[in-house]
Amino acid sequence: MRLDRFLSEAGFGTRKETKKMILKGRVWVEGRPVRDPAYRVKPGERVEVDRKLVEPPSEKRYFLFYKPPGYVTSTQDELPTVIEFFRDLPRSERLFPVGRLDRDAEGLLLVTDDGELAHRLLHPKYRVPRVYEVEVEGEFPEEELSRLEESFPLRGRPTFPARARILERKEGFTVLEVTLYEGRHHQVKRMFSRLGFRVARLKRLRFGPLELGELSPGGFRKLEEEEVRELEASLTIS
């Protein structure tokens, strides 16, 4: 981890502030002053500020969570939030959901305390795919699929083209799979509403390389190290 980030996460202020401390020569690593904020701190190295040993920041945590309907994806709200499922974990106050799912929506949500990775995963330049299973009222015509894939203006900015296919037709409903490459507000619902269809159920199945798998509503599991590496590796600009 970079030295400026190491200090910031250990509680020494923002990255800007920790950079300044480093440039001033207040930070020592293994008994020597280091004035490079980009210096990579290796596991076990002694870092000191003003000759006082710094407690290394704790490991970042990543959870794959099945958000049930009825919870809001924020950390504090008058309504029940997704973080309530994590309250019994140590340092749960640091955890937050990555991105949004509507209150009535369900499915895969990444919950972490890694602000930097979260920020990158949500940045539109990486176009991280989000796959949804969408149940709409009525019979959705095959010919309209291409219209779902069109870009349209949303809050003054065009959306990035989506992908859509029909999975199943049920009595009074059509089930579709929709892939978005950005996370704009109510995007799936708005796509269908433009074509006169109401979304009755919305479930996120995938986020980048992560899959909901066998989790049940309200359940979560820790990501394997390999899965975190895959998440990082998926952040390439195409």
Residue 231 sits in the site that holds ligand URA (CB under 6 A): no
**How far apart (Å, rounded) are the C-alpha atoms in residues 160 and 182?**
7
187 binds ligand URA (CB under 6 A): yes
Q: How far is the CB of 145 from ligand URA (least distance, A)?
A: 17
Span near ligand URA by CB under 6 A; candidates 20-28, 61-69, 97-105, 224-232: 97-105
Taking CB under 6 A as the criterion, the residue among 19, 61, 67, 189 binding ligand URA is 189
- By annotation, the residues acting in catalysis are 102
Instruction: Find the part of the chain contacting ligand URA (CB under 6 A) among 77-85, 167-175, 186-194, 225-233.
Output: 186-194
Please give the residues from 8 up to 37 whose contact with ligand URA meets the rule CB under 6 A: none
Q: How far is the CB of 120 from ligand URA (least distance, A)?
A: 19
* H, E, C per residue of the chain: CEHHHHHHHCCCCCHHHHHHHHHCCCEEECCEECCCCCCECCCCCCEEECCEECCCCCCCCEEEEEECCCCECCCCCCCCEHHHHHCCCCCHHHCEECCCCCCCCEEEEEEECCHHHHHHHHCHHHCCCEEEEEEEECCCCHHHHHHHCCCCEECCEECCCCEEEEEEEECCEEEEEEEECCCCCCHHHHHHHHCCCCEEEEEEEEECCEECCCCCCCCEEECCHHHHHHHHHCCCCC
136 vs 188, which CB is nearer to ligand URA? 188
The answer to whether 182 and 124 are in contact (CB under 8 A) is yes
Q: Is 105 in the site for ligand URA (CB under 6 A)?
A: yes
Q: Binding residue for ligand URA (CB under 6 A) from 45, 48, 102, 149?
A: 102
One character per residue 158-177, x = contact with ligand URA (rule: CB under 6 A): --------------------
Report, in Å, the least distance between residue 103 CB and ligand URA.
8
- Applying CB under 6 A, the site for ligand URA has a residue count of 8
Residues forming the site for ligand URA (CB under 6 A): 101-102, 105, 186-189, 202
